[in-house]
């Protein structure tokens, strides 16, 4: 599909008339068609995380409307010191409980407070006595003894209620007032400084029964710090089962609908599919804590909700039907993710028996029947009764979420055969990644690898799909994001994702679906580090990554075009980017170390004192300090002695003496350690691999990866060696007794990526180019096999700095700019901006 030549050094322009040196050449071949680019490619992943739904996409304005927020996932859960503790269940992989603690909090009434003015006397409490709905039994009992200056039950929404002048808000309240009560209730909307924005009186039935009251409140002003109040004019006992407030204007005017601005933002991504309900919430902390779709349909007031493993209760308001409606409203296909009888394997890993799993299979079949079954079926009839006799566009079912291991593989086969037998038209997705795990199942339509990584990973793996064998299954990249070391999600993250997406699009015969994750974040509850779209109660903002997604989705070709590229690599990967600690270690060897000194990048020499124990952090091994030397006597692997006195980075030198006393290898020298342990850093492995070679390795979480050449090297016993290591920004050198033994240089970095295709509807050649360097890229583009018009379009997303980010204060700092361009030709040079994703749309003549 694509050939790429990478040059490090000077690249001569083929165009002598060009004043700037061309640093990349892309040849686009129109003489043959590449693979068809499937319309399913770019979709979205919804999960109730970071208040993505409640307090986000879902239109409800009141927090904890059903008063169920403090209900535990089941009676075996406990709360300890503000944390939620699950019961001790067996993790099916570990064979013993792996329990963990989860966010709970100390507020007994999230969202609600009782306002008593002056001397007023009143109290509130939660109760499950005489419930209105057995499925959502909790209600709020307010006892007003003496209202005097005023008593109000107040809801402050999801970090304030956003109200707009002259707009109407639909109140639905299910309340009970005693038959001895002779008054009514007053409801109000309040803005900043207590300003009254709306007021209505509810004539209550006062019959001791649950009654439903519905009315509209019209705001006379705009506020983002609104509150909703129920005022009690007289004394009495008042019970509230459900109090809900919705903007009348929701996305596409749906009742129980979505917040328009957030929904429009998602619509803007032109999603081919929507995944629901997640994510880890599919699995739950324990099985009783999983999302059960049947509890998310029907009257919202009767839905119990579920404690959400991301730290709050989800109302189930954006339930299964709302998700399917939203698919219709956005023109997307639905993807339902079912639980396979396994709870989250990163949490408790509880698993039911294979016999019990039959119930989970039936539950998944029922969900499918609800979405696409005939109205004569049990669940198709429920859908029809809910006002939707026609089937919904459900096309995919993912079997489990992030499950793995033999129990999962067996379950997958059980679910796959049961669902396929009944619904052969559905595409079924397994949780397997790119490894060999998938071989242990009979058949899957798609696998679902996930990547949450640092930018480097995406840059280096933009070709990861190029050589994967075709024909066994397709790939749905169900969750991916660059979320490490990129602030809240900066341009570097976005560009690395863009680079990775060029690889997905180029291989879209194999990677037929992809969705970034997580999708949404209410900025008041960031439970996950980096999310695509940020919101508060009145703003919604796309990060630069959002615009990358949008640009790819808006500019999909019908099929790919073959290209070849020659790229002049102008940057190298930094070898050492941070300052860090130095230390010694051994591997099945006994070694003595002495006379350590370092010279830092300013030329200052710092000498270690091996007699001063306070300078040394003794980790693994048996370390003894005698006469200015440290000796390691055990036979353990990867022992550690870290010097805490100095941190050094690029431009420094490490010198010491070492003598091997016994054992099978030489010794280890740690440097650039982020902390005084082997969490992250580098090491020189001297006389490693059975005392045969030396090499430089990177350290991650107590394991290491060799990054340099391995050079022949042997350490003899009872001989002092003078060791010197010179560390520079782009490499390192290792000397023994003045002789250079090993030179390591960082690899040249590719930071330029592209993919090209053809749009049959518009007869345009679409070329997408990522330039993730700090300099303009002057790129020679040759269109072979077609003539093109001079006029075309260019869409550019760029930032001054890779660290730049959009924010709620500056939401459009980074956004795509489209221009009409009139210098296209069959052969032309285009200047791609620094830190940019650019899409060229050229019209074929
Ligand atoms: O996207 C956030 C979480 O990441 C998802 O819930 C889970 O599937 C993955 O671990």
pLDDT digits (tens, 9 = 90+) for 569-588: 877 878 887 799 999 999 99
Ligand 1 atom 9: residue of nearest CA:
279
Distance of CA 49 from the midpoint of ligand 1 (Å): 9
> Which run of H or of E encompasses 218?
strand 210-218
Ligand 1 atom 6: residue of nearest CA:
279
Distance of CA 275 from the midpoint of ligand 1 (Å): 12
Any atom of ligand 1 within 6 Å of the Cβ of 47: yes
Q: Which atom of ligand 1 is nearest to the CA of 401?
A: 8
Any atom of ligand 1 within 6 Å of the Cβ of 458: no
State pLDDT tens for residues 416-444: 999 999 999 999 999 999 987 898 999 99
In percent, the amount of the chain with pLDDT more than 90 equals: 93
pLDDT of residue 188: 98
What would the DSSP string read from start to end of 761-811? Answer: TTTEEEEEEEE-SSS-EEEEEEEES--EEEEEEEEEEE-SSTT----SSST
Superfamily of the domain at 2-34+751-844: Golgi alpha-mannosidase II (2.60.40.1180)
Ligand 1 atom 8: residue of nearest CA:
279
The structural architecture, per CATH, of the domain 580-745 is Sandwich (2.60)
Structural fold of domain 112-249:
Jelly Rolls (2.60.120)
Beta bridge partners of 482: 453
Pairing of strands 78-80, 817-821: unpaired
Ligand 1 atom 7: residue of nearest CA:
279
Q: Which atom of ligand 1 is nearest to the CA of 452?
A: 4
* Domain 2-34+751-844 identical in fold to domain 580-745: no
Any atom of ligand 1 within 6 Å of the Cβ of 528: yes
The domains of the chain are located at 2-34+751-844, 112-249, 580-745
pLDDT of residue 11: 44
pLDDT of residue 2: 55
Any atom of ligand 1 within 6 Å of the Cβ of 757: no
Has residue 655 got a pLDDT over 80?
Answer: yes
pLDDT of residue 17: 40
Distance of CA 66 from the midpoint of ligand 1 (Å): 27
Please report which confidence band the pLDDT of residue 111 belongs to, taking 50, 70 and 90 as the band edges: very high
Beta-carbon contacts of residue 639 (< 8 Å; ≥ 6 apart): 585, 586, 587, 619, 620, 621, 623, 632
pLDDT of residue 19: 56
**pTM, 2 dp:** 0.87
Any atom of ligand 1 within 6 Å of the Cβ of 282: no
Any atom of ligand 1 within 6 Å of the Cβ of 280: yes
Handedness of CA 299, 301, 303, 307 (dihedral sign): positive
Any atom of ligand 1 within 6 Å of the Cβ of 401: yes
Distance of CA 796 from the midpoint of ligand 1 (Å): 31
Any atom of ligand 1 within 6 Å of the Cβ of 580: no
390 DSSP 8-state letter: S
Any atom of ligand 1 within 6 Å of the Cβ of 479: yes
Distance of CA 280 from the midpoint of ligand 1 (Å): 5
Distance of CA 526 from the midpoint of ligand 1 (Å): 14
Distance CA 102, CA 312 (A): 10
Distance of CA 476 from the midpoint of ligand 1 (Å): 15
Beta-carbon contacts of residue 443 (< 8 Å; ≥ 6 apart): 416, 473
pLDDT of residue 576: 86
Q: How many CB atoms lie within 10 A of CB 175?
A: 23
pLDDT of residue 16: 39
Mutate to test the pocket of ligand 1, among 277, 281, 337, 401 (most ligand atoms within 8 A of CB): 401
Please report which confidence band the pLDDT of residue 13 belongs to, taking 50, 70 and 90 as the band edges: very low
Distance of CA 212 from the midpoint of ligand 1 (Å): 38
Q: Which atom of ligand 1 is nearest to the CA of 310?
A: 6
State pLDDT tens for residues 490-546: 999 999 999 999 999 999 999 999 999 999 999 999 999 999 999 999 999 999 999
């Amino acid at each position: 599909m694509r050939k790429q030549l990478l040059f490090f050094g000077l690249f001569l322009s083929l165009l002598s008339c060009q004043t700037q040196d061309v640093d990349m050449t892309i040849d686009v071949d129109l003489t043959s068609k590449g693979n068809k680019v499937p319309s399913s490619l770019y979709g979205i992943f919804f999960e109730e995380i970071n208040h993505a739904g409640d307090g986000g996409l879902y239109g409800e304005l009141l927090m904890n409307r059903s008063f169920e927020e403090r209900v535990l996932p089941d009676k075996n859960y406990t709360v300890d010191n503000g944390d939620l503790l699950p019961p001790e269940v067996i993790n099916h992989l570990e064979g013993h409980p792996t329990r963990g603690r989860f966010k709970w909090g100390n507020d007994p009434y999230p969202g609600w407070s009782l306002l008593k003015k002056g001397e007023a006397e009143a109290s509130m409490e939660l109760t499950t006595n005489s419930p209105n709905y057995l499925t959502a039994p909790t209600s709020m009992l307010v006892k007003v003894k003496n209202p005097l200056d005023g008593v109000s039950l107040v809801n402050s929404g999801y970090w304030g209620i956003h109200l707009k002048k002259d707009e109407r808000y639909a109140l639905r309240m299910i309340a009970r007032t005693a038959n001895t009560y002779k008054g009514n209730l007053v409801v109000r909307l309040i803005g900043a400084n207590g300003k009254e924005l709306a007021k209505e009186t509810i004539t209550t039935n006062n019959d001791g029964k649950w009654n439903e009251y519905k009315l509209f409140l019209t705001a006379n002003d705009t506020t983002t710090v609104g509150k909703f109040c129920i005022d009690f004019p007289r004394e009495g006992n008042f019970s509230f089962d459900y109090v809900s407030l919705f903007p009348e204007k929701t996305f596409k005017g749906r009742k129980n609908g979505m917040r328009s601005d957030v929904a429009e933002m998602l619509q803007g991504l032109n999603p081919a599919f929507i995944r629901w309900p997640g994510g880890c919430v599919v699995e739950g902390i324990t099985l009783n804590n999983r999302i059960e779709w049947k509890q998310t349909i029907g009257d919202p007031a009767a839905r119990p909700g579920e404690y959400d493993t991301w730290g709050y209760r989800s109302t189930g308001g954006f339930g299964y039907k709302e998700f399917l409606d939203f698919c219709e409203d956005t023109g997307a296909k639905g993807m339902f993710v079912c639980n396979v009888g396994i709870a989250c394997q990163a949490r408790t890993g509880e698993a039911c028996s294979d016999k019990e799993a039959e119930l989970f299979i039936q539950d998944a079949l029922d969900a499918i029947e609800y979405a696409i079954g005939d109205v004569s079926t049990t669940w198709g009839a429920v859908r029809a009764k809910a006002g939707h006799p026609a089937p919904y566009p459900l096309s995919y079912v993912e079997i489990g979420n992030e499950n793995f291991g033999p129990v999962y593989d067996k379950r997958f086969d059980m679910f796959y055969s049961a669902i396929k037998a009944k619904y052969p038209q559905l595409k079924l997705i397994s949780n397997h990644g790119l490894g060999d795990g998938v071989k242990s199942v009979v058949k899957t339509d798609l696998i679902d690898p996930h990547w949450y990584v640092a930018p480097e990973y995406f840059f280096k793996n933009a070709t990861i799909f190029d050589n994967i064998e075709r024909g066994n299954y397709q790939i749905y990249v169900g969750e991916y994001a660059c979320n490490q070391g990129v602030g809240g999600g900066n341009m570097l993250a976005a560009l690395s994702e863009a680079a990775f997406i060029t690889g997905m699009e180029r291989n879209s015969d194999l990677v037929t679906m992809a969705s970034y994750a997580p999708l949404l974040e209410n900025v008041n509850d960031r439970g996950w580090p980096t999310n695509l779209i940020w919101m508060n109660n009145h703003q919604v903002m796309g990060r630069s990554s959002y615009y990358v997604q949008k640009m790819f989705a808006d500019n999909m070709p019908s099929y790919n075009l073959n290209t070849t590229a020659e790229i002049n690599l102008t940057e190298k990967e930094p070898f050492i980017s941070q300052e860090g600690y130095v230390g010694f270690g051994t591997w099945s060897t006994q070694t003595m170390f002495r006379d350590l000194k370092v010279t830092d990048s300013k030329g200052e020499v710092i000498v270690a004192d091996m007699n001063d124990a306070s300078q040394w952090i003794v980790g693994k091994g048996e370390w003894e300090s005698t006469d200015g030397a440290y000796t390691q006597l055990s036979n353990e692997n990867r022992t550690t002695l870290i010097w805490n006195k100095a941190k050094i980075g690029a431009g420094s030198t490490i010198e010491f003496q070492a003598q091997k006393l016994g054992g099978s290898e030489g010794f280890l020298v740690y440097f650039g350690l982020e902390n005084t342990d082997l969490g992250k850093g580098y090491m020189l492995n001297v006389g490693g691999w059975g005392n045969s070679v030396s090499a430089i390795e990177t350290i991650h979480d107590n394991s290491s990866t060799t990054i340099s050449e391995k050079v022949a090297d042997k350490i003899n016993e009872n001989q002092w060696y003078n060791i010197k290591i010179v560390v520079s920004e782009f490499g390192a050198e290792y000397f023994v007794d003045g002789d250079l033994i090993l030179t390591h240089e960082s690899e040249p970095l590719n930071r330029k990526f592209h993919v090209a295709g053809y749009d049959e509807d518009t007869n345009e050649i679409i070329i997408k180019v990522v330039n993730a360097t700090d300099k303009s890229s002057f790129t020679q583009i040759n269109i072979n096999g077609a003539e093109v018009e001079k006029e075309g379009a260019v869409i550019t997303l760029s930032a001054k700095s890779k660290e730049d980010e959009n924010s709620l204060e500056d939401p459009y700092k980074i956004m795509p700019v489209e221009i009409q361009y009139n210098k296209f030709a069959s052969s032309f040079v285009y200047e791609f901006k620094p830190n940019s994703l650019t899409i060229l749309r050229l019209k074929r003549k």
